[in-house]
Structure 1
């Protein structure tokens, strides 16, 4: 008998916060809450974390990190630890991009589900170019060797740099699980003016300089820009100094730091419109959660990242790196009335709620573990 129904492999796991990490956590904990035996294997990104612990019904195994290269964690023990736990499991769930994924998938003793979150994007530089090329090659091989591949949306898949591989996989579109954040208090609202909110990692990917430029053109002295998210433990470096410099020039900008639990609910209750000005994005859990609270989102025209707005109509899509268009869309959507917000929220909750996501993942895991078909993998790198 297997020790686990599901083995999840992910480089970063809670308490690290990112969209990818949150999907891994919510699916793992959701499966455990439904009575499944779940293990997570992750890198020990913070040496203070215990090597083994049980979190919310999930057995978490953390593997030592030798060093880091940009966002990447170098952990020679990670692939073999994943394979060891996978042998004791019924199905293996990989979260990509992950440099080690191909080595893991090629020798997996059980069916593999790969969730392909995003084409890896790193700031310009020779080391980052090499890292992206290696991660892209690993992802391409892993996708070929996976029994099923999950993407956030067909829009994300069809515009991916790996579409030629993705189009030949057993592909399932399962949107990232998004929490219902209704019921908060407006604790971060301190004026009667327009309140624009951003929530996420304070990193280059999120395009925050464009949001700062857009807000600079908002003339209302009672307007506020609320920026929440982690900038102390983010992989690859933060842009917090640029945000602080803008806040020093404009006291209407509020830097809230990392928010969690009730604080996130209160954040959404405090804003009129949500901004996600990313230069790289595959979905944007935070914007979908804002929509579920009735808050329209203004996001950039990126495959996958624009999907929540396209699917619900609850927001606007603007060109990447265009603060003028971003400001115009924020001002326009902020005027939407209560009925329009209520209808958008209902659509978002129907499409992106946690329960529906877990139902689809559970059905996929059951489909694979219930099959008696023998997996066949092409091991040639040119396959």
Structure 2
């Protein structure tokens, strides 16, 4: 049996866990496998019900046991050593950061070229130990970046705002938009009446700023308006759903849909007049907002580095100041009234700019160049 891999992808959480970072890593790994490459993924066994090894989407997925959890992170004593062993048997290793073990794994890879995908600086909300945790992760990410043959970022707007930019700019920096799925037309099964329907789809996490969205919507004086909140309600590091439910109590116009499986996302988009991404912390891109645009749904998003790029590129929606609930509400009112022609034009521009094939081809080229030493 061939024990070598063409590529080894390393990240803390892998499918079936859902996040933008996980989605990118999975799409890249499965695309390489579909092209005939032998691909390994090394991740934590974040759910003990998951197997230690499986072939998923043509990819060999190796998982390390989790001993404990700290905030949104996991403590997996065997993770770095497992990743290092498989990295040394691979032509290139692709580290997705932030990651506590990034520096150790990059060093353990020895002669294997390292491509670091810098998704974001680590962000933790409050807590007495948050600053210390951030400092430790930052040091590890910096160590990995110094060993990198190339660094992948979603866009330079976000990368230049990173605490690590001074290191990244000394490496080969490759801006590759994350692969976004173009979905077929869905059915508006989540609609409830003719009023404006506003939606959010993503992780129910503190940095998403959903409390601002709920506050903005509650002051929307239209009894026919609806707010649809969809996404995994049990994400790493805890969720904010209980707080949001309390905040929304008494307003029957607000619905919590939970996690949507892939076939239902097209129906979710077809049910919306506008999509909101009110994040309070920088995001590298915002895949969910871009996929909503590609389905003809205009977006209102926070004007923060990285996540503002899809809107700046397409002009399909509006940017608002992060944390401005009043500005968010008024912008959503405006974009929810976009006519059909503007929606179809916005979808076409977004699809042309951020379609999946061009992104995956560009990513594969970065990995191949690093493996070849060029």
Taking the aligned partners of 2:3 and 2:113, their CA distance within structure 1 comes to 14
CA distance in 2, matches of 1:311, 1:159: 19
Contact between 2:98 and 2:119, CA under 8 Å: does it hold in 1? yes
Q: Is 1:22 matched with 2:23?
A: yes
- C-alpha contact (below 8 Å) 1:300/1:318 kept by paired residues: yes
Q: Write the distance in 1 (CA, Å) between the matches of 2:348 and 2:128.
A: 46
Paired position in structure 1 for 2:87: 86
Aligned counterpart, 2:65: 64
Correspondence 1:299 to 2:301: yes
Write the mapping of 1:123-162 to structure 2, written as runs, cut at 5 A. 123-162=125-164
Scaled by the length of structure 2, the TM-score of the pair is 0.97
Choose from 350, 363, 366 the match for 2:365: 363
Gapped regions of structure 2 (runs ≥ 5) = none
CA contact (8 A) 2:214 2:248 kept: no
In 1, Cα distance between the equivalents of 2:68 and 2:247?
33
Q: Once the 2 structures are TM-superposed, how far is the Cα of residue 2 of structure 1 from its aligned partner?
A: 6.2
Give the distance between the partners of 2:127 and 2:66, measured in 1 at CA.
23
Which residue, out of 182, 185, 202, partners 1:183?
A: 185
Cα distance in 1, alignment partners of residues 294 and 184 from structure 2: 8
**More deviation in 127-136 or 266-275?**
127-136
* Structure 2 residue 43 is matched with structure 1 residue 53: no
Q: 2:331 aligns to what?
A: 329
Query: What secondary structure does 2:152 align onto?
Result: strand
Number of the residue aligned with 2:264: 263
**C-alpha displacement of 1:75:** 0.9
Q: Paired residue for 1:379?
A: none
**Post-superposition CA distance 1:21-77 (Å, at most 9, x none):** 111111111111111111100000011100000001001000001111101111111
Given that 1:229 and 1:257 are in contact with CA atoms closer than 8 Å, whether structure 2 keeps it comes out as yes
Residues in 2 aligned to 1:364 and 1:163: alpha-carbon distance in whole angstroms = 19
Aligned residue pair count: 371
| DSSP 3-state at the match of 1:298 | strand
Deviates more, 1:20-29 or 1:100-109: 100-109
Question: Take 1:119 and 1:196, find their aligned partners in 2: how far apart are those partners?
Answer: 29
Residue 248 of structure 1 deviates from its aligned partner by: 2.6
Give per-residue Cα distances to partners, 1:85-119, cap 9 Å, x unaligned. 11221110000000100011123231111100011
In the alignment, what sits opposite 1:381? none
Q: Where do 5+ consecutive residues of structure 1 fail to align?
A: 374-383
- 1:203 maps to 2:205: yes
CA distance in 2, matches of 1:287, 1:181: 13
TM-score between the two structures when normalised by the length of structure 1: 0.95
RMSD: 1.2
The answer as to 2:105 corresponding to 1:104 is yes
Partner residue in 2 for 1:353: 355
Alpha-carbon distance, 1:3 to partner: 2.0
Q: Is the 8 A contact 1:93 1:115 kept in 2?
A: yes
1:363-382 equivalences in 2 (<5 Å)? 363-371=365-373
Contact 2:185 2:266 survives alignment (8 Å): yes
Give the equivalent residue in structure 1 for 2:316.
314
